[in-house]
Structure 1
Amino acid sequence: MSSDQRIVHYNSARFNKSAAKLHQCPEDIGAEVAFAGRSNAGKSSAINTLTNNGKLARTSKTPGRTQLINFFDLNLEGVRLVDLPGYGYAKVPVEMKVHWQKHLGEYLEKRQCLQGVVLVMDIRHPMKEFDQMMVEWCENSQMPLHVLLTKADKLKKGPAQSTMLKLRKELQAVLGDLVTVQTFSALKKQGVDQLRNRLDHWLLPEETDFESEVITEE
């Protein structure tokens, strides 16, 4: 296999399928990274910016409409991105949230090819209830976690860096080397290369030498 074939081209992402339940997911082989986040945290915009495809992940003016687990194939066989349902929007009925959480939990606990979770948070409102639940799950399962602090363009560079460093310190006290944190702006396309490096580290662990400490905005 040539070296070019062992490079993940994120702009190659294409929709595979949606799943409401674990048994509907693609075959549990290969490697995949899942994106999770509260509704309106900017998850879909982050995925679209990562893949340079504004229509890949659905964005909506009504957060929480995506109720399914969505799988996107990349250029390497068996390598995928996964868009998990968003939570936390007040207008979504409680019973629907419970249904989503049940199937999300099954996916996170039983999916063997899952290599890591990207937890998307609005940098202005980090560590809400859903975020805390995801951090606890990653701690309990020893799952690698990368926190993407989105909408960093809404803050000046100083406060954005301060928020990122504070949260990194708090999370590393719980998760140690399992967690990395960065700032990100879909609007200004800032932090895209850092995100791709983190995903490469998970999806191509043998080919990638990733320095986890270099997670700062230029």
Structure 2
Amino acid sequence: MKIVTVEFVKSATLPSGYPPGSLPEVAFVGRSNVGKSSLINTLLRRKQLARTSNTPGRTQLINFFNVNQELLFVDLPGYGFARVPEAVKREWGPMIETYLRDRECLRMVVFILDIRRDPSQEDLALKGWLDYYGRRTLFVLTKSDKLSRGESKRRQRSVQESLALPEMPLIFSAKTGLGRERILEEIRKAKGEARS
């Protein structure tokens, strides 16, 4: 999948604020500070399209990006240890769940995990929730450049086992670009498939 054009469409919190749904969508989810924005920026070859930050919890809205006028990337707020007001945290759950459960044009969820960390209870719960709703999910382990190749493979197997995945999660590095083409290929395949 070649990225030609990318543009920010809008941010939303409620379905009434979402774009019309005429294009297929791929959503990106993960804990706060897992490298979600860096992954999106690397896939799109844009430096600051999705805002990156060392402060967990910067993304607090659902952000929609039009890719090649044929697909939307959807950046969902990170969950977990974000230092944000409790009232904001309480709104995130329903906001994310509503989008993931009800969005008809959602073709795939890219579930992002830090390769150095074991899946949290929140990760396991979200995986179970996505399984329950039958959402096609691609698991991606970020920050692989922080480990040796051997350690990355070991962690890859460990996460696969922890999440009971039928296939190995993909390994990705925003620093080196490792895994970029494979992720884009999976997105390309999912883009053309209607939700079953």
Q: Corresponding residue for 1:112?
A: 104
Q: Corresponding residue for 1:52?
A: 45
Q: Corresponding residue for 2:10?
A: 17
Q: Corresponding residue for 1:145?
A: 137
Q: Corresponding residue for 1:184?
A: 172
Separation in 1 of the partners of 2:121 and 2:109? Answer: 17
8 Å contact from structure 1 (residues 145, 180) kept in 2: no
Per-residue CA deviations over 1:136-157 (Å, capped at 9, x if unaligned) read 1111011111111000011111
8 Å contact from structure 1 (residues 11, 53) kept in 2: no
Q: Corresponding residue for 2:87?
A: 95
Match of 1:41 among 29, 34, 39: 34
Q: Relative to 1, partners in 2 of residues 1:11 and 1:190: Cα closer, same or farther, differing over 3 Å?
A: farther
Letter in 1 for 2:26: V
Letter in 1 for 2:31: R
Per-residue CA deviations over 1:22-79 (Å, capped at 9, x if unaligned) read 11000123211000111110000010000000111001222202110000001143x1
TM-score (norm 1): 0.83
Letter in 2 for 1:93: P
- Is the deviation greater in 42-51 or in 117-126? 117-126
What is the number of equivalent residue pairs in this alignment?
Answer: 194
Q: Relative to 1, partners in 2 of residues 1:122 and 1:35: Cα closer, same or farther, differing over 3 Å?
A: same
Separation in 1 of the partners of 2:40 and 2:122? Answer: 19
Separation in 2 of the partners of 1:9 and 1:72? Answer: 15
What's the Cα RMSD here?
Answer: 1.8
Separation in 2 of the partners of 1:89 and 1:59? Answer: 16
Separation in 2 of the partners of 1:70 and 1:103? Answer: 12
Gaps of 5+ in 1: 1-7, 207-218
Separation in 1 of the partners of 2:125 and 2:168? Answer: 17
Q: Relative to 1, partners in 2 of residues 1:39 and 1:103: Cα closer, same or farther, differing over 3 Å?
A: same
Local SS of the residue matching 1:162: helix
Q: Corresponding residue for 2:188?
A: 200
8 Å contact from structure 1 (residues 149, 183) kept in 2: yes
TM-score (norm 2): 0.91
Separation in 1 of the partners of 2:7 and 2:168? Answer: 27
Gaps of 5+ in 2: none
Separation in 2 of the partners of 1:59 and 1:133? Answer: 25
